[in-house]
Amino acid sequence: MKKSNAASGIILSLTGGIFWGFSGSCGQYLFTYHAVSSEWLVPIRMIATGIILLSVCAVKNKSKIFDVWKGRSNALRMAAFTVFGLILCQYAYFTAIEHSNAGTATVLQYLSPAMILIFMCLKNKKAPAIAEVIAIFLAVGGTFLIATGGNLSSFSITPAALIRGLLAAVFLVCYSLIPGRLLEISDTPTVLGWGMLTGGIVISFIFRPWEIMPVISLPLIGAVAGIVILGTVLAYSFYLEGIRLIGATKASIISSIEPVAATVISAVWLGTEFTFTDIIGFVMIISTVFIISLFNAKNDYDKRTD
């Protein structure tokens, strides 16, 4: 891998993670102060993003805009990416925010690097190293602390928030792993644009966002714009491009700045309070991605996530 490609992949993955963290806080702001629901926000976000990305792609390279749909294999992979990597990932994430807050939902979502590690170990039929086992135990322990506050007899967050946060992590794994071959035949904005547009149209017929419209105001428009432009168009594009340049595992590790960003922004901007146990759980989960990165830099988990 060229140093320039590696550096670009790192910067893109890092920036994408920060933008995602900001997007989560914007979502929490909308849920808290504007009575917005995930059933309204997710379709609007996806359709707006898809239109923006495909419009740019049509201007830049119109002749190849339909390449991702050519061939049964590509079409099926595109459909799987749309459903599992985009629709379900975003819906699980934003409903987790609705039931808790941006910081907690984002940290739970970042169990995905440990999940990717387990998947790659199974795929390559290779047992995890000691450091990787430690990372997995930290991920599980951190989740336990966030969920219970260290008290087995009660939940610190609702079961609904916990389940949705864990599902968001599973579907983020799908988002990271499914589009591998699609990114070899087409560019990142095209793959993402089609996934967002088709997914947004499909989910609109399920949730009917036009029937649950919130009161439109400038702050609401600004927050939605932040989610669409920074937290979706740029964040997803940067992250997918990071995957193409440095691989799924490394990109997911670097973009783990997202839960830090979401927690800080949520606390400073929205006044969200976190307990000491929450912070310990956050640190345990986030530390797993750095442990995986440190002890597996020489391992070839990133070769192609097909």
> Over the stretch 4-33, which tens digit does the pLDDT of each residue have?
778 888 889 889 989 988 999 999 999 999
The alpha carbon of residue 78 and the mean position of all alpha carbons in its chain are separated, in whole angstroms, by 17
Q: How far apart are CA 295 and CA 117, in angstroms?
A: 12
Which ranges of the chain does DSSP label H, i.e. alpha helix?
Answer: 3-33, 38-61, 72-80, 88-99, 102-109, 112-123, 130-148, 159-177, 182-185, 188-207, 218-225, 235-246, 248-254, 257-270, 276-295
**pLDDT at residue number 300:** 44
pLDDT on residue 304? 35
So what's the pLDDT on residue 297? 54
Per the CB < 8 A criterion, the answer to whether 256 and 110 are in contact is yes
Among residues 238, 243, 123, the alpha carbon closest in space to that of 181 is found at 243
State pLDDT tens for residues 155-195: 788 889 999 999 999 998 998 889 888 988 888 889 989 99
Distance in angstroms (rounded) separating the CA atoms of residues 37 and 91: 10
- At residue 99, the pLDDT reads 92
Asked if 94 contacts 38 with a C-beta cutoff of 8 angstroms, the reply is yes
Residue 15 token pair = 């920036």
Quote the tokens at residue 19. Answer: 């933008």
Give pLDDT, residue 299.
Answer: 52
In which residue ranges of the chain is pLDDT below 70? 1-3, 152-153, 249, 252, 293-306
Residue with tokens 């739970």: 108
Q: Which pLDDT belongs to residue 181?
A: 85
Is 71 in a helix, a strand, or coil?
coil
210 to each of 32, 38, 115, 204, how far by Cα in Å? 20, 13, 36, 9
For residues 262 and 25, the answer to whether their CB atoms sit within 8 Å is yes
